């Protein structure tokens, strides 16, 4: 049976939506959420008018990307726990191999404007809490198995990870040898061993959530 014009239109619309979201995720991971909408349309291979028909403003696009990325990272974190041979391996897998996590760092940790924008989004906050809760569970398990230093919390790891990305040149970060070396240094510093004591107490996921609430 040959598809009619309406079916083809729906298929085209779904393809355009997928291309827009994929392009936005890539650009946000590289440079953050303030990139011109025209650049996102160019990367997606669609017209600016098509982009604005699906997302009338930047906030709508940021919300859509954040929701999708949060949901994907939450699922990826659960898979890391279920499929990894140890809690340390799960932590390394989540931090080193999650492109979506780069997007989240840009949207929720490095950009105060978009972080505030997402504070009143119930769906985004629910997924964000789930990600932080799973990260805390990985951290606790790694500390119990003796592979992660005892004086860090899930919030510490989230902050260090975001700062590492913030200092990375705005390009395809996952392909940079320098970033791989920086990840190696970060992970080595998180390993359980005798080292320089950290000041203060571990930063928890509750601290990050409380900071968001104060900023909203």
Taking alpha carbons only, the member of 17, 173, 179 closest to residue 103 is 173
Q: Which CATH number describes the domain made up of 62-215?
A: 1.10.357.10
Rounded to an integer, what distance in angstroms lies between the CA atom of residue 68 and that of residue 173?
Answer: 20
C-alpha span between 216 and 209 (Å, rounded): 11
Q: In the structure, what pLDDT confidence band is assigned to residue 17 with cuts at 50, 70 and 90?
A: very high
**What global pTM score does this model have?**
0.76
Helices 154-166 and 205-215 cross at an angle (nearest 10°) of 60
| Model confidence pLDDT, tens digit, residues 139-166 | 999 999 999 999 999 999 988 887 776 6
Residue with tokens 């505030």: 116
Confidence of residue 38 (pLDDT cuts 50, 70, 90): very high
Report, in this order, helix, strand and coil percent for the chain, each rounded to 5. 75, 0, 25
Pick the closest to residue 60 from 38, 44, 31, 37 (CA basis).
Answer: 37
Residue 24: name the closest of 1, 49, 46 by CA.
Answer: 46
pLDDT for 76-112, tens place per residue?
Answer: 899 999 999 999 999 999 888 766 777 777 776 667 7
Extended beta strands in the chain, E state = none
Q: Which residue has the tokens 């790694």?
A: 142
- Tens of pLDDT, residue by residue over 52-81, are 999 999 989 998 998 888 888 889 899 999
Indicate the length of the chain as a whole number.
216
Tokens of 150: 């005892």
Cα–Cα distance, 152 to 113 (Å, whole number): 27
CA distance 13 to 208: 37
Angle between helices 177-190 and 154-166 (to 10 degrees): 160
């Amino acid at each position: 049976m040959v598809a009619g014009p309406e079916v083809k239109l729906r298929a085209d619309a779904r393809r355009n939506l997928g291309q827009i979201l994929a392009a936005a995720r890539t650009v946000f991971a590289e440079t953050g959420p303030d990139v011109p909408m025209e650049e996102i349309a160019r990367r997606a291979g669609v017209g600016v008018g098509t982009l604005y028909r699906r997302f009338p403003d930047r906030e709508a696009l940021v919300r859509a990307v954040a929701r999708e990325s949060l949901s994907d990272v939450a699922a990826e974190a659960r898979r890391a726990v279920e499929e990894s041979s140890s809690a340390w391996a799960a932590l390394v897998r989540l931090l080193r191999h999650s492109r979506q996590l780069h997007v989240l760092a840009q949207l929720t940790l490095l950009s105060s404007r978009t972080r505030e924008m997402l504070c009143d989004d119930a769906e985004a906050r629910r997924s964000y809490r789930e990600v932080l809760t799973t990260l805390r569970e990985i951290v606790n398990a790694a500390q119990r198995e003796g592979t992660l230093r005892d004086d860090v919390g899930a919030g510490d790891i989230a902050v260090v990870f975001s700062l590492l990305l913030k200092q990375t040149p705005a390009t395809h970060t996952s392909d940079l040898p320098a970033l791989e070396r920086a990840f190696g240094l970060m992970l080595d510093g998180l390993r359980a061993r005798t080292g320089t004591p950290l000041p203060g107490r571990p930063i928890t996921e509750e601290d990050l959530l409380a900071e968001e609430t104060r900023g909203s």
